[in-house]
Amino acid sequence: MDSLPLGEEVIQKACSIAMEAHNYPEAPCRVENSPSSSDVFFTFPGSWSVADWFTRLPFGETKVDPSKLLSPKGKDKVATSLRSIGRDELATVNEGFWKRLEMILANPSLQSEVEKAIADKKQIVFTGHSSAGAVAILATVWFLENYIKPEITRMSPLCVTFGSPLVADFIFNHALRRENWSHCFIHFVMRYDIVPRILLAPLSSMERELEQILYLLNPKPLFPSQGSTRVASQFYQTVMRNASALTSHAACQLMGNANPILETVASFIELSPYRPCGTFVFCTGNGKLVVVRNADAVLQLLFYSTQLCSENELEEVAERSLNSHFDYQSELRERLKMQNVVHLDHLDGLPLSSNGAAAENIATSMALNELGLSTRARLCLRAAGEQEKQKLSNQQRMDRKKADIEAGLAMLEDYKSKCAVCQVGYYDAFRSSKDEDDFKANVKRLELTGIWDEIVEMLNRYELPEGFESRKEWVELSTRYRRIVEPLDVANYYRHAKNEDTGPYMDKGRPRRYKYTQRWREHALRMPVGSSAESSFWAEVEELQLHRRTRPGAFEEIRETILNLERKLKEWIDGEHISRDVFLEGSSFTKLWKSLPQQHKSVSCLQGQINS
């Protein structure tokens, strides 16, 4: 029998203290650190006011602010992990929950407790029920970014939530998966619990009802109160209709449907940006725990598992959609003992009908039945699995092209050393392109461009596995590629005087394949944004040369730039990121440097490197 990704005791404990936290709304953060336990629990009270859930229309969402919580101390120029690297798109999170975390962190107690736990080498567990689960998720990310990323500790935190609303968009999930943080997050969701679905609907569709519902859900007052069934039915239908729009839209994409009416209709309505992240454990209410890791599949399940069997069920299910929000403790107490756990892993081959499963699939089939999944729902899950498979196979296809890339780079490296022998750097040889070798190098450059542009194109459409941009071998290969080939692109750009048409290379002409891969390296090595610009060195030289030609007397205008470039160049030469051929007799850089005023040259940090 399958098991859960973490121990039964931790779950029970987390659940009970997460529920208990609601009783102390005045304590923004509670710590459970008993000397006898190896775990430290951090939990938060829930919030039941609409303003905390939705700070604005339509979904209360905001881009993460990389300058605040997520910038690791000291290295403030390092970009946040909560983004896609190449495309450089920031994740979106719920602003209300984010603000709550900010408020909690404004008080240093959480930090000091966390650091104490690290010092004691204890397992840190962030937990929360309902909206407190959302805060726990964000707190975990804060911890990962500030303690795991800078390697202050290597012990992964855990985040266990119960009936938590969704907190962030798909880029957030993309980033967690890329950083390999996804496994830290475990979310328990009761089949009918409405709360994890609420943020799939825009505030405008349910403003009044939401207030009533949150009031009903607040564990303090006793319910059911008068008329709650009617409100609950209304609310349930609103949330489900919006969830349906979102999930069917997502399903069309998973299935590769290209009907353009989708885009047109979508432009008239509001679709929630929120997506699941981490591992979900669905409690069927019938004895099974169903574990799902594929975020696309989780989104489909959030809708389909809550559908009705028949019309007469509406009121009953609507009531359950509220009541079951508080059933986690009892449900888990019973189920964990039975260890009746099913992992939905091979989604692309799920049985399509309730009784059509092959023998080895019986457990899966029963779990799907208990979640009430129709054939349509199962097809959507299959499509989610198929897409995951497709991403992997794209990655394999690119991996197979590595040999071609390596061969191309070897040829160009060879070209580079040949040019150095003739006392001209390959940059300048290529720029004047007089010989057949230069021309052959150009063809090789273009062949490599084809491969890298394909990768960029796939990244833009998120068609590669999330981890692709942080795979060590690709980061290294791309750096090698960038260093040897980008100078050729710069040379080509200025050789054809494209700067006269479009402006400087760095502003307008730099291809995405270099921007993306530069970010890969900066991210992998936690370097400040823009600091690995060695491959575009020649573009700066070209612009400075141009300045010297057109305004020879105006050295002062470029003094700072020159000083800066010299300093960087020295570092790059010392680090062997740029080879010494830039100092060769016939090199553009040597010519530029020699044209500088004597006064400057005599004190330059490059003085002595260049024969004058």
Partner 1 sequence: MNQLFSSGSEVASFVVSSGLLKLSWAKNLDCYGGVNLNEQHALGFSLRYKAYQEAKFNIIAFVTSPICTKSHLQEAELVSSTALRETFPFVEFLCSNGNSFSIHKAAITLFAAHMNELLQLKNQCGSSSKPLIITGHSLGGSVASLFTLWLLESLDVSAATRPLCLTFGSPALVGNKGFQQSISEHPVWTSCFLHVATSKDSIPRLFIPPHNLHTMGLTSQPYIYKPFGTFLLCFDMGCTCSDNPEAISELLVAMGMGGTRNEEQLVVDYGKIVEQLESWIIFEGISQFSDFMPNSLRAGTILQLEAIGLQKRQQQQQQNNDFDKLIEKLEKLEESCMLNKRKVFDPAKKLNDIKIKMALLEWYKKVSKAEEIGYYDCYKNHLSQRDRDIVRLKKFLTNYWKEFVAQTEKKPQKEGVRTRWLYAGTNYRRMIEPLDIAEYYKNGQKNYINNGRSDHYKKMEQWLEEAEKQSGFSINSKKQNVDVILTYDSCFWARVEEARICCRTLENADASITDRGSSRQNLMKFELYVMEQIKKSAVSSEIFLKDSSFMQWWKEYEKIIEPHHNLPLTDFMKNCKYHQYGSGCLVLN
- Which residues are known catalytic residues? 130, 193, 325
Q: Compute the least distance from the CB of residue 275 to partner 1, in Å.
A: 17
Q: Nearest 5 degrees, angle CA 165-CA 166-CA 172? A: 155
Q: Compute the least distance from the CB of residue 284 to partner 1, in Å.
A: 15
Which CB sits closer to partner 1, 360 or 473?
360
Burial 298-325 (b: 16+ CB within 10 A, else e): bbbbbbbbbbeeeeeeeeebbbbbbbbb
DSSP string over 539-563: HHHHHHHHHHHH-TT-HHHHHHHHH
**Beta bridge pairs of residue 92:** 63
- C-alpha separations of 255 from 251, 379, 464 in Å: 6, 9, 17
Which CB sits closer to partner 1, 253 or 564?
253
Torsion of CA 221, 222, 225, 228, to 10 degrees: 80
Q: Compute the least distance from the CB of residue 142 to partner 1, in Å.
A: 36
Q: Compute the least distance from the CB of residue 325 to partner 1, in Å.
A: 19
Instruction: Give the Cα separation of 332 and 370 in Å (integer).
Output: 16
Residue 34 exposure: Cα atoms within 13 Å on the Cβ side: 4
Q: Compute the least distance from the CB of residue 455 to partner 1, in Å.
A: 13
Q: What is the 3-state secondary structure (H, E, C) of 91-103?
A: CEEEHHHHHHHHH
- C-alpha separations of 79 from 26, 67, 464, 506 in Å: 34, 9, 22, 20
Which CB sits closer to partner 1, 251 or 565?
251
Which CB sits closer to partner 1, 271 or 533?
271
Q: Compute the least distance from the CB of residue 72 to partner 1, in Å.
A: 38
Instruction: Give the Cα separation of 50 and 207 in Å (integer).
Output: 8
Which CB sits closer to partner 1, 12 or 449?
449
Instruction: Give the Cα separation of 239 and 275 in Å (integer).
Output: 15
Which CB sits closer to partner 1, 269 or 563?
269
Binding site for partner 1 (CB under 8 A): 236-237, 240-242, 244-245, 248-249, 251-252, 254-269, 304, 307-311, 348, 352-356, 372, 374-377, 379-380, 382-383, 386, 389-390, 433, 436, 439, 442-443, 446-447, 449-450, 453, 457, 495-497, 500-501
Residues 127 and 43: beta-carbon distance below 8 Å = yes
Residue of 513, 357, 491 whose CA lies nearest to 430? 491
- C-alpha separations of 339 from 6, 322, 333, 350, 456 in Å: 12, 26, 11, 22, 44
Say if residue 436 is exposed, middle or buried (CB neighbours under 10 Å; 0-12, 13-18, 19+). exposed
Which CB sits closer to partner 1, 260 or 553?
260
Q: What is the 3-state secondary structure (H, E, C) of 242-302?
A: HHHHHHHHHHHHHCCCCCCHHHHHHCCCCCCCCECCCEEEEECCCCCEEEECCHHHHHHHH
Which CB sits closer to partner 1, 111 or 205?
205
